[in-house]
Chains A and B, each alone.
Chain A
Amino acid sequence: MTTAESPKLTRKEFVSDQDVRWCPGCGDYAILAQVQKVMPEIGVARENTVFVSGIGCSSRFPYYMNTYGFHSIHGRATAIATGLKIARPELSVWVVTGDGDGLSIGGNHLIHILRRNLNVNILLFNNQIYGLTKGQFSPTSRLGLVTKSSPKGVIDNPFDAASLALGAEATFVARTVDVQAAHLQSVLRRAAEHRGTSFVEILQNCPVFNDGAFDDVTDRATIDEHQLLLEHGKPLIFGPGGDRGIRLDKNMEPEVVALNGANSEQLLVHDETNDALAYFLTRLERPRFPVPLGVLRAVQHPTYEDRVHEQIDALHGAADEKAFDALFASGDTWQVGQAK
């Protein structure tokens, strides 16, 4: 993150004067609070921070941040952020989107910002439902989910946001949940640090239209069995007291094994730079396997905006009078009457 030094800010300074208008109990509140908390730590001045969003419940986010903000149209935040970041590479640009905005109507722009690798942080609030339009299924809704637009159950196959991002060549992919403040914060910090597009899927509860969609992941009673907290260089261990792990069987299929002191060597070890492993982790089937949370992939590639400006800067040109007069007369020319 490049920015001028600024005096230490506090959370409060990132809170705008606008009333927050999400439904009571919405997971968005928790996410907003953590983002506001992490911002001062990231250390970018408020004026150099821009939140861009599309349309949906999550897309109200910029109004609540006391930074620059652009609440745009459905699905297009990533495209607007792309233009902004190319024009102003020094800004810290954040996109807030949802499973409808980012994965359905804006799916095309999402995959392309990821493949280009602009240094933009994308927070995708995945609540597996359309909230703002009052409860239709989304591209991440589970098969069979009964909603207003699927009274007999959803028949569309959902896709996995993190798998999609990896397929689109994302250089940073992470997953976290709304209710786990510390984890959410650590992922946000990592996303901000990453140079390149950071894609963060945040599992978010919509208590009004899809309450409890992630209860199995977040329920205190079962949390250990259903979450796999990823740490770079550490084996894939989960369960109460870390009593089990994940390894590959002889068919290269994942399997859960109870740890007995002797078999921990056989466990897979997380490596954020290993593409195949990252994809493999996003394919672990729920509830047979736990949901991996944390940084799935983090690799360094050149950013798009750097390449744009390298090509321009390499020419050492100037858009001045001399350059334009030369340009205008660059074809064959002829005189009529007295030359001007």
Chain B
Amino acid sequence: MNNATLTADAAETKTTDSQLARPVIVLDHIHKIYRMGDVEVHALRGISLTIREGEFVAIMGASGSGKSTTMNIIGCLDRPSRGLYTLDGVDVSQMSKDERADIRNRKIGFVFQGFNLLSRTSATENVELPMLYAGLPAPERQARASKALKAVGLAGREQNHPNQLSGGQQQRVAIARALVNQPSLILADEPTGNLDSRTSVEVMEIFQRLNDEQGITLVLVTHENDIAEYAKRVIVFKDGKINRDYPITERRSAAEELRNWPTAVEDDDD
């Protein structure tokens, strides 16, 4: 536990450029224990970390190391078994179910590996969904939805259903949906896990743009080192603890790579 605190402190000293920014996420000795009958699974064993406004964090680590569990807690979908989580200065552990639903609706945008769009529902209606729950009037919903779809490069595809869109396009609809309520935080759990390399870079380009231009805080989980290099900071999990936490020194620019993408060459690597 002491160890974890030290790691978190170390992380803060390293990210000097964001030291002045306001902390958005503060995890303090977070534990998560799953009970399955008599067996207890200790998924998180004391996670402490601070993520400040405008950061772009990639979380990495082996399968089962607790990345998704942490993301669920940060995203207010789940509650820690022990420890303190403050989001924008508010203690989430004290919040009711409904308050957490409202936080998810207004402050957080989710992007999932499996896209998680509503089937047999047009792109526009999918993007409108969070605004529906926020209680926005129809004209504003439509205006914002088409703006968000345009921002992710899907103008003209508003009426397509998910099964009429490619994986990359579906993920962009999901990003539009995550953006549309103007959240301060976007959480993406393996957003490029189901995409080929070119489409992955396209998605990362959108994320970098959101981070650079709008200052949205981004946390994404990935298994791929080259995806993590688009972020500004990497946190590596191991067995429910933070193993390493370091800044990216030579950050990749997705926009630049796309401009120089070799068009003649086959897209998929491996």
Q: Do A and B come from one complex?
A: no
B interface vs A, CB < 8 Å? none
A interface vs B, CB < 8 Å? none
